[in-house]
Amino acid sequence: MLAGIKEKIRAVKDFPKEGIIFRDITTALKDADVMAAMIDYLYEQYKDKKIDYIVGLESRGFIVGMPLAYKLHVGFVPIRKPGKLPADKYSQTYDLEYGSDTIEMHKDAIEEGANVLLVDDLLATGGTACAACNLIRKAKGNIVGAAFWIELNGLNGRQKLKEFENCEVISMLQY
């Protein structure tokens, strides 16, 4: 089934800039059977693990995280861009290829000691995922893993996530 999923993910050349091949999940998500298989794949990886919360990165991490949280019967916590969360929050700034960015999470989103699974659609350089792990650490949550539908090999995202103890990285497809 993974081969069938990979065939449904569109490759868009030169987006968002020249030389980049963007892996577009929207073509896979519009097929109900493929979408179900993508969620079910991650569910099978985590159904027997002790997870209290799934943390999803804005915005495609919400697409991955909400149905997975529902299937695992755990809470969902969104990590958002600045200015989107109304209550007290933790912020984390991180470096991008050209500049920096910031993400935020409500301070009361997870309890100290809670087991947290980070999810997003794609792992590339790992900058955003590492920033999210730092937010989880600020809240004193236990990072039990990071799950992605797609991983771009050679960009060292998996290697960067190794700095977070017990953060097992799982990706469904590699390019």
The alpha carbons of the chain give a radius of gyration, in whole angstroms, of 16
Bond into 91 cis (ω within 30):
no
Query: Of 117, 139, 142, which is closest to residue 57 (Cα–Cα)?
Result: 117
The one catalytic residue among 18, 97, 112, 165 = 97
> Which of helix, strand or coil describes residue 3?
helix
Let me know if 60 is a catalytic residue: yes
Catalytic: which of 60, 80, 137, 168?
60
Is residue 111 among the annotated active site residues? no
Q: Could you tell me the sign of the dihedral formed by the alpha carbons of 131, 71, 150, 35, in that order?
A: negative
Mind telling me the catalytic residues?
Answer: 60, 97
